[in-house]
């Protein structure tokens, strides 16, 4: 609840309605971001990396598929009428970010599964007729298409929240950029975690650390801009019930801790490097969930903030 | 093939356009009888919302919602130690869906359930809506809402004023306007109502109602983004006093910029990653 201060409005009643969405939505934003980020990193490693990059980082396709598969069920579960989930696809209407997202996910999820299956066939994990079928998968083509779709999936979620009249989501123009940066850092973190577990060479972990750190710096920049543009409107996020998960989880564990750990890991090798990389990756993954969850929950509080609504609507 | 797809997906060609219909709600005539609220509930078979008391004047309705499509506000402007007549007054206003020319709910809807009817009104097709809930925070006026999933009334889909679409189809006046005993709620062709509203505003201003104004006319700043409102108002004070935003925002207007930032970050990341992998360092 907001502080009861006298306002110009009608009995301090909210101007806009409270979003009806539940936990499935931030969970989906998180998984969709990881799926997109992991797929983009794995695809770029395939097309620009060394032979070792290609071998060790192709596991990213498994991660992308694993993260993408629960997305549609989560979105369906949050509907008021889940049995009508397919109505999302009865029109093509990219003007609505939610329609754009439904189409993107519909195209992206099967693509991740196809690419993961192709990888499984390469490593003899998948044998028999299914493995023969994966030879039909045009790898480079779906890596390229998947990169574009993965980036769209990672970034549109922030725009979806922002394209409303909830003050916390709509005031700043940077929420889409923030979610994109967070998705890329957590997706790369997932790839790094898998690579560290498989005992990838030090050079690969160092390269991933550089990429992850770049994403974290971008995330910090977006976050700073987001908070600065939001001003007083950001109070439900920065000092409300979700302040702890936001500052400690999203900012601390999600960006500052990985940056610090990667800096320490910069000149380390072997076991200690793997431990530091894994810890940084876990922090980044947890922080990315904390970011989505805290902004989502704080948005509900913000929707009841009459003064913030009037400020959003002032010229 | 296309025919079968269109039938299966309930895609039908729309009926031919008719003259724009709307409401002119003249709050200077409202006496707060709530006949509009009751008539709306009766005609549209909307369930009651309980007997909770808010303690805020006679307003125990609170807000528009899935089962409340008219909401009468009671704004008590009384000063303890006298003052002019302008400062001692009790404003009443029957709020309703504005049926915006550029409707945020309609643009947000991912299923095409929200449509513009042949009368220029905004309508939720109940057989299409899958209850995604995106229209709810999209509306800058807090009008549309999703009915509770565990409720008895059309559970899980979005609802709001239909401008009595069923009555319009039969050339009848919407229930609220029909029941209004003071002609505070006037129904008709939008163009004609605007003319009437301008005349009425002139009359009130001539009588000394200096704060009177129209809200939702094509030249008003409230129409900057959401366009003219097909259900518009004559107010006796600033819009905020009635919980109406000064410049209601249409999310589409800023969407390109928001996508732009997102795309820039994504492209920047892809470039850095490609360089790092390509540089092999």
Q: Tell whether A176 is within 8 A of chain B (Cβ).
A: yes
Supply the pLDDT for residue B280.
53
State the residue range of the domain holding B135: 17-252
A8/B125: higher pLDDT: B125
Contact B136, B145 (CB under 8 A): yes
Residue of chain A minimizing CA distance to B127: A84
Write out chain B residues lying below 8 Å of A300, CB-based.
Answer: none
| Contacts with A244 (C-beta within 8 Å, 6 or more apart), sequence order | none
Give the helix/strand (H/E) hosting B9: none
Supply the pLDDT for residue A1.
39
CATH code (residue B137): 3.30.70.20
The reply to whether B128 falls in a domain is yes
The reply to whether B8 falls in a domain is no
Q: Where are the alpha helices (DSSP H) in chain A?
A: 24-48, 51-57, 59-68, 71-77, 97-122, 129-134, 139-162, 167-170, 175-197, 202-230, 235-238, 243-244, 257-265, 270-302, 306-312
The reply to whether B37 falls in a domain is yes
Burial class (CB in 10 A: 0-12, 13-18, 19+), B131: buried
Residues 131-170 (A) with a CB less than 8 A from some CB of B: 147, 151, 154-156, 158-160, 162-166, 169-170
Residue of chain A minimizing CA distance to B111: A88
Phi-psi region of B42 (alpha: psi -120 to 50; beta: other; left: phi over 0): alpha
Please tell me the least confidently modeled range out of A200-209, A229-238, B5-14: B5-14
ipTM of the predicted structure?
Answer: 0.95
Task: Classify strands B21-26 and B231-235 as parallel, antiparallel or unpaired.
Answer: parallel
Instruction: Dump pLDDT digits (tens) for A276-294.
Output: 999 999 999 999 999 999 9
Closest CA to B107 of A160, A178, A107, A72: A160
What global pTM score does this model have? 0.94
Supply the pLDDT for residue B80.
63
Q: Count of A–B CB contacts within 8 Å?
A: 255
Interface contact flag, B276 A9, Cβ < 8 Å: no
Fold topology of A24-312? Formate dehydrogenase/DMSO reductase fold (1.20.1630)
Contact B211, B194 (CB under 8 A): no
Interface contact flag, A14 B252, Cβ < 8 Å: no
Closest CA to A311 of A95, A3, A9: A9
Supply the pLDDT for residue B86.
62
Structure tokens belonging to residue B35 = 């006949």
Instruction: Dump pLDDT digits (tens) for B55-112.
Output: 999 999 999 999 999 999 999 987 766 667 666 889 999 999 999 999 999 999 999 9
Supply the pLDDT for residue B15.
87
Q: What is the average per-residue pLDDT within A249-258? A: 97
Residue A149 has pLDDT above 50, yes or no: yes
Supply the pLDDT for residue B2.
72
The reply to whether B44 falls in a domain is yes
As for how many domains chain B has, the answer is 1
Supply the pLDDT for residue A8.
79
Supply the pLDDT for residue A2.
42
Interface contact flag, B132 A79, Cβ < 8 Å: yes
Q: Domain ranges in chain A?
A: 24-312
Q: Which of B105, B273, B275, B281 to mutate to test binding with chain A, by most A CBs within 10 Å of its CB?
A: B273
Q: Which residues of chain B have pLDDT under 70?
A: 10, 80-83, 85-87, 280-281
Instruction: Dump pLDDT digits (tens) for B17-39.
Output: 999 999 999 999 999 999 999 99
CB count, 10 Å around CB of A107?
15
Supply the pLDDT for residue A5.
46
Q: What is the average per-residue pLDDT within A55-82? A: 97
Of A41, A174, A313, the CB nearest to B261: A174
The whole-chain average pLDDT of chain A stands at 95
Interface contact flag, B142 A93, Cβ < 8 Å: no
């Amino acid at each position: 609840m907001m502080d009861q201060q006298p306002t110009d409005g009608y009995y301090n009643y909210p101007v806009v309605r409270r979003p009806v969405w539940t936990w499935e939505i931030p969970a989906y934003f998180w998984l969709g971001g990881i799926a997109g980020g992991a797929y983009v990193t794995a695809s770029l490693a395939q097309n620009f990396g060394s032979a070792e990059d290609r071998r060790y980082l192709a596991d990213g396709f498994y991660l992308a598929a694993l993260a993408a598969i629960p997305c549609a069920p989560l979105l369906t579960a949050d509907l008021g009428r889940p049995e009508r989930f397919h109505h999302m696809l009865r029109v093509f209407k990219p003007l609505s970010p939610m329609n754009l997202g439904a189409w993107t996910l519909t195209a992206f999820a099967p693509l991740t599964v196809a690419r993961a299956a192709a990888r499984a066939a390469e490593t003899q994990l998948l044998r028999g007729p299914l493995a023969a079928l994966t030879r039909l998968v045009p790898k480079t083509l779906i890596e390229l298409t998947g990169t574009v779709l993965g980036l769209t999936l990672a970034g549109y979620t922030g725009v979806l929240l922002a394209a409303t009249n909830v003050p916390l989501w709509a005031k700043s123009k940077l929420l889409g950029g923030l979610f994109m940066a967070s998705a890329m850092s957590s997706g790369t973190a997932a790839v790094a975690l898998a690579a560290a577990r498989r005992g990838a060479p030090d050079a690969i972990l160092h390269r991933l650390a550089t990429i992850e750190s770049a994403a974290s710096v971008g995330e910090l920049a977006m976050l700073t801009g987001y908070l600065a543009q939001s001003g007083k409107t950001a109070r439900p996020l920065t000092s409300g019930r979700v302040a702890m998960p936001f500052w400690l989880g999203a900012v601390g564990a999600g960006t500052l801790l990985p940056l610090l750990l990667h800096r320490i890991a910069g000149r380390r090798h072997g076991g200690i490097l793997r431990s530091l990389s894994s810890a940084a990756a876990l922090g980044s993954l947890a922080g990315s969930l904390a970011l989505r969850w805290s902004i989502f929950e704080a948005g509900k509080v913000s929707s009841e903030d009459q003064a913030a609504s009037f400020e959003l609507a002032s010229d | 093939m296309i025919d079968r797809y269109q039938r299966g997906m309930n895609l039908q060609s729309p009926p031919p356009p008719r003259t724009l219909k709307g409401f002119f709600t003249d709050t200077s005539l409202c006496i707060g009888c709530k006949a509009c609220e009751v008539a709306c509930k009766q005609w549209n078979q909307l369930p009651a919302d309980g007997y909770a008391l808010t303690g805020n004047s006679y307003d125990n309705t609170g807000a528009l919602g899935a089962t409340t499509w008219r909401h009468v506000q009671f704004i008590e402007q009384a000063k303890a130690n006298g003052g002019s007549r302008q400062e001692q007054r009790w404003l009443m206003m029957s709020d309703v869906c504005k049926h915006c020319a550029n409707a945020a709910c309609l643009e947000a809807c991912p299923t095409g359930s929200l449509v513009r009817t042949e009368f220029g009104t905004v309508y939720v097709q109940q057989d299409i809506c899958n209850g995604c809930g995106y229209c709810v925070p999209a509306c800058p006026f807090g009008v549309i809402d999703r009915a509770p999933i565990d409720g008895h009334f059309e559970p899980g889909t979005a609802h709001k004023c239909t401008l009595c679409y069923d009555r319009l189809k039969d050339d009848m006046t919407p229930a609220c306007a029909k029941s209004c005993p003071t002609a505070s709620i006037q129904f008709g062709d939008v163009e004609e109502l605007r003319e009437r509203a301008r005349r009425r505003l002139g009359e009130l201003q001539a009588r000394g109602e200096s704060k009177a104004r129209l809200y939702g006319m094509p030249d008003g700043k409230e129409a900057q983004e959401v366009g003219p409102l097909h259900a518009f108002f004559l107010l006796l004070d600033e819009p905020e006093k009635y919980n109406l935003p000064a410049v209601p925002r249409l999310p589409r207007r800023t969407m390109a910029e928001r996508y732009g930032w997102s795309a820039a970050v994504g492209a920047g990341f892809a470039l850095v990653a490609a360089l790092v992998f390509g540089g092999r360092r």
